[in-house]
Chain A
């Protein structure tokens, strides 16, 4: 972890149909952390990520990536959407989906070539999906689809990774494989931000955490702020989580 701020969110308010779902969010994410965003269903976690990435237009507030607007920093940011957000019956293969990760660095019109394909194959290898490279994506299991998404983010070779529930519907083996890759990214100095639902594993997987429920409840190092008080404020019911140091 360095002292540089990777992501800075100021007074962010986002609404769907004039109903705010994120309200006046201030957030600073230091470079090099592996951070969990936790909060109940509908808390606005996906909305927060989408607004940071310019996919949604906020009604107020600003976002900076290493001091500059997102549009200038696309090349260094990678995104893994929630798995249900795409059509898995789309006529394409696993390899092809991973190659899509290289489109950003290519820009408009230019087409992926050998170099991009090679990078995609390496990313597939890293997530253990090389044998499935030519499979149609609907013929992959949920966990395998998640790995493909992860590979697609890896191939972007970014500095900041946003992942929306990468552990959704995966078995224990895949979960460990994914978290190991995320920890490796952190070791390489990358900033990784993960929407996470399993509160039990937060202290084990992450070093930074943000509590979110329409408003930001708290953000900081897991060892300082991951406590029953913040959990109760976020989830509204009494939470007892024993934290292993």
Chain B
């Protein structure tokens, strides 16, 4: 690997981490669309900042652009508060206007400004290593690396300091307010961090990849855990893995790096969406199938308990009595046998002691709906799992 390659991967990874942290809270607050709005509406801020500073990496430009991000959020909330339109509509109204103002400003000054809309939207990671940071004439690395590194450091420090406040205000804003943690301060703090991160990252990776890096890793992590800290860690990991694997995908396909990283983010999300152990589609389908079988088993056991007469319990006629197809009766019969719930004597099915006990317990549970009744049945059956 050349040093430029390493630098590109490093920048991409730092951007991924810096995005995943605010992204996790945006996803939990159901505000994913706001990051899209911010990423577009910072354009006029960038253009104005560029007119003043002539330097895409100047702190003043970052500040001005981040301010446009906050203004977007304020405008969206203001329009929403009038009660005339819903939040998504308000977002859809605000950011295209700000974005087009930026586009017009660029077009009007196209001749003397080295800035184009494509660069803002898509960025060019491959060029990032060429813009060097010089300290007293000494090359200390790419500028983007320093910018995003600084932003990441601030983000992590804020996260560690205010984790508890972020958590409580995201889960229950009312409680947070009554405890004295102003949800408004935390909300705008999060918006400020999201805006600054977006601005700091757009030059290297482009606005679209920023949105993908904020939302996709967090959404993937959400499917894998019920613990906020772990969700943050997973989101960071997915972001970094996608960034690095995306870089190599682009390398071998000779394609856009930002596009490849976005593709990898999608691939990981899809993989987790399908295969996640609890919330994944396949796990859910499997669980539902198991539950169907277990409900059948229970129905079958209840039938046996209710009917002492032999005619109702003959193996070959069971399907007639409970009105099931042969295959289903067979599955259920096998399952009951395997669990020692029943025995078959001269083609007549009867409950074993264990089967009797289980059925009685199940009946009490169904009638009383008391959770204590089912705690020890849980190991055997999906049906009673929380």
Contacts and interface: CB of A to CB of B under 8 A. Distances in A.
A112 B179 contact: no
Interface string A56-71: 0000000000000001
Given A90-B28, A91-B228, A108-B165, A97 B178 contact: no
A211 interface: no
A79 B178 contact: yes
Interface in B214-253: 222, 225-228, 230-231
Given A79-B178, A91-B222, A86 B172 contact: yes
A234 to B, nearest CB: 25
Given A77-B178, A106-B164, A97 B171 contact: yes
A53 B171 contact: no
Interface string B192-232: 00000000000000000000000000000010011110110
B188 interface: no
A107 B225 CA distance: 28
A112 B386 contact: no
Nearest to A71: B180
Interface in B57-86: 81-83
Given A111-B164, A112-B164, A100 B175 contact: yes
Contacts of B386: 135, 139-140
Contacts of B225: 91
A20 interface: no
The interface size bin for chain A is 35 or more
Interface in A87-106: 87, 90-93, 97, 100, 103-104, 106
Interface in B359-386: 369, 371, 375, 386
Nearest to B162: A109
B170 interface: yes
Nearest to A92: B228
Interface in A101-124: 103-104, 106-109, 111-112
Given A86-B171, A100-B168, A106-B164, A91 B226 contact: yes
Interface string B175-190: 1011111000000000
B174 interface: yes
Nearest to B370: A173
A228 B99 CA distance: 62
A50 B173 CA distance: 11
Interface string B138-180: 0000000000000000000000011111011011101101111
The interface size bin for chain B is 20 to 34
Contact of A85 (B163, B168, B172, B222): B172
A79 B174 contact: yes
Contacts of B369: 171
A55 B184 CA distance: 11
A12 B174 CA distance: 20
Contacts of A90: 28, 170-171, 228
Given A91-B226, A92-B171, A55 B177 contact: yes
A92 B81 CA distance: 30
Contacts of A136: 226
Interface string B13-33: 000000000000000101000
Contacts of B164: 103, 106, 109, 111-112
Contacts of A186: none
A196 B324 CA distance: 48
A74 B171 contact: no
A40 interface: no
Contacts of B179: 74, 103-104
Contacts of B171: 86-87, 90, 92, 97, 100
Contacts of A50: 174
Contacts of B165: 103, 108-109
Nearest to A53: B178
A79 B168 CA distance: 14
Contacts of B226: 91-93, 136
A81 interface: yes
B316 to A, nearest CB: 42
B345 to A, nearest CB: 40
B175 A81 contact: yes
- The interface centre, meaning the residue of B172, B181, B228, B371 with most chain A CB atoms within 10 A of its CB, is B172
- The interface centre, meaning the residue of B181, B222, B386 with most chain A CB atoms within 10 A of its CB, is B386
Given A79-B175, A91-B231, A104 B170 contact: no
A41 interface: no
Contact of B181 (A53, A87, A92, A103): A103
Nearest to A110: B164
Nearest to A139: B386
Nearest to A52: B178
A55 B83 CA distance: 20
A13 to B, nearest CB: 19
Contact of A100 (B83, B172, B371): B172
List 9 A-B pairs, minimum CB-CB distance, nearest first: A104-B179, A136-B226, A139-B386, A53-B178, A55-B177, A79-B178, A86-B172, A81-B174, A90-B171
19 contacts: A53-B178, A55-B177, A79-B178, A81-B175, A85-B172, A85-B174, A87-B28, A87-B30, A91-B226, A91-B228, A103-B164, A103-B168, A108-B165, A108-B181, A109-B161, A109-B164, A111-B163, A131-B375, A144-B371
Interface of B: 28, 30, 81-83, 161-165, 167-168, 170-172, 174-175, 177-181, 222, 225-228, 230-231, 369, 371, 375, 386
Given A85-B172, A87-B28, A104-B178, 5 more contacts: A17-B82, A85-B174, A90-B28, A91-B227, A92-B228
